[in-house]
Amino acid sequence: MWVYDELYSCPLVVILGSFTHRGHTGWVTLPLLNYRVALLRKNGEWRVVSNIDWERGYVRSMEACRSIAGEAVEGFNVELDLAVHTSFYGGIGSYILGETGLRPLSIDIVNTRVFKFYFKPREGDPRKPPEGNIGDWLLLQAALREGWVKPVAETCRALGSIRDGVCVVEADIGDIAIATSMIQLDGWLRVTPDNSPLRHVVAVERIS
């Protein structure tokens, strides 16, 4: 058994969309609980454990986790900064690029009892996520928090599309589907939003 001194567990972060308000650019993100990268450290040596099997998602989660763990990551980009911030806070969040860098605008816990989520990964480079009105994004966040079904459908028509009664948002590394009941969709993965902040465990010892 490999006994580690420290562990970082980071979710896969999906960039749902973007907005511009009074000259400021912002993004809306969603972390996925059941797709993660874990970094385990022992005496300065790192080991990686992950269940993300497509490259773009793995690279994003790995770079975010390494950055959080204090490891140097080449270059800097908004995608990485969004993944780091979202991992720290958890929940669906909107972030805005201000004078002092990227900062949270609104963070909400997702009501997973009312809403069910599905993810269809996209191969290749990330695409530009849909740009929407800041009011629509904030209303979507509030509706997902409170379990309001009608506002989710209304905002989804502006930010994405409704397909057979299911809200679909074409996010940067794949499509996110939001439903009010369990559904079967070919090629889609059942996912759960991660409402908790980053998992960080230290000084773990094996108990015999």
pLDDT single digits (tens) 135-154: 999 999 999 999 999 999 99
| Separation between Cα atoms, residue 67 and residue 63, nearest integer Å | 6
Which amino acid, residue 38?
A
Q: Which residues contact 25 (CB under 8 A, 6 or more apart)?
A: 18, 19, 96, 97
Categorize the per-residue pLDDT at 9 as very low, low, confident or very high, splitting at 50, 70 and 90. Answer: very high
pLDDT tens across 120-138, in order? Answer: 999 888 999 999 999 999 9
Give the pTM: 0.91
